[in-house]
Amino acid sequence: AQKVTQAQTEISVVEKEDVTLDCVYETRDTTYYLFWYKQPPSGELVFLIRRNSFDEQNEISGRYSWNFQKSTSSFNFTITASQVVDSAVYFCALKNPLPDKLIFGTGTRLQVFP
Amino acid sequence: GAVVSQHPSRVICKSGTSVKIECRSLDFQATTMFWYRQFPKQSLMLMATSNEGSKATYEQGVEKDKFLINHASLTLSTLTVTSAHPEDSSFYICSARDMKQGAGFGNQPQHFGDGTRLSIL
């Protein structure tokens, strides 16, 4: 079965705190792709990162970092020194070669308070 | 780059009306576009995959006669909600995949439009 689990429904932090959003996936394929998207209150989905299953190198982009652990089927997302503008719903998604579609997790709503 | 434009952003109409939503890739060509539906505080549910020049592939449980999809060019896909009823009220969002990005099938990220909030009275 192909499945993405984001166990954290809502997270609230105060500005400047670090926060980690968890993502656990299930797939039978050895080749797959993982994505993170941000959905601010305005509604659009913003692409943040993609990761291939054969590339376990972690990535850092400014205040954002991603920790891909194949051994635990996790692809966690950390925001360092959070800001109010980070408040949004964050979706983790899985893509296998077939079928040709993204499988989204249920999302984590992050609220960053000033 | 990789901008997807969705229009209109909001529609309010009476029950029985048909509503057309457009999804355009502005700076890239997209042979494949996707249509999603999202209920409040829920995840995105894929409705159908739209392939340029061929019939759309609908997900199980999605009525193809209710949700008409046309993908006539490499930059435009349309979703028409026919004879809309209050239960069709939702947030509809499209995405397009830039086939030139990334290496290997399926690696390309989907770029999303801003969504259309449909309210049927």
Structure tokens at B86: 């209050």
Residue of A8 and B51 predicted with greater confidence: A8
**DSSP secondary structure, A42-100, as one string:** T---EEEEEEETT----EEETTEEEEEEGGGTEEEEEESS--GGG-EEEEEEEE-SSS-
The pLDDT of B96-101, averaged and rounded, is: 75
Phi, psi of A84 (to 5 degrees): -55, -35
Residue of B nearest to A96 (CA): B106
CA B78 to CA B67: how far, in whole Å? 10
8 Å CB contact of B32 and A100: yes
8 Å CB contact of A100 and B43: no
CA dihedral A50, A1, A77, B91 (to 10 degrees): 80
CA B44 to CA B36: how far, in whole Å? 6
Alpha-carbon gap: B110 to the closest alpha carbon of chain A (Å)? 8
Closest CB to B105 among A50, A97, A101: A97
Residue B101: pLDDT band by 50, 70, 90 thresholds?
A: low
Residue of A nearest to B59 (CA): A101
Residue of B108 and B52 predicted with greater confidence: B52
Alpha-carbon gap: B8 to the closest alpha carbon of chain A (Å)? 13
In sequence order, what are the residues at sequence separation of 6 or more whose Cβ sits closer than 8 angstroms to the Cβ of residue B61? none
The one-letter amino acid at B61 = G
**DSSP secondary structure, B51-116, as one string:** ETTSPPEEPTT--TTTEEEEEEETTEEEEEETT--GGG-EEEEEEEE-TTSSSSTT-SPEEE---E
8 Å CB contact of A50 and B107: yes
Alpha-carbon gap: B103 to the closest alpha carbon of chain A (Å)? 10
Number of residue pairs across A and B with CB atoms under 8 Å?
55
CA A40 to CA A22: how far, in whole Å? 18
* Residue found by looking up tokens 């199980």 in the block: B60
Say what the pLDDT of residue B102 is: 52
Alpha-carbon gap: A50 to the closest alpha carbon of chain B (Å)? 7
pLDDT tens for B9-35 read 999 999 999 999 999 999 888 888 999
Q: Digits of tens for pLDDT over chain A (114 positions)?
A: 789 999 999 999 999 999 999 999 999 999 999 999 999 998 889 999 989 898 888 888 899 999 999 999 999 999 999 999 999 999 999 998 877 789 999 999 999 999
The conformation of residue A31, written as its DSSP 8-state character, comes to S
pLDDT tens for B72-89 read 888 999 999 999 999 999
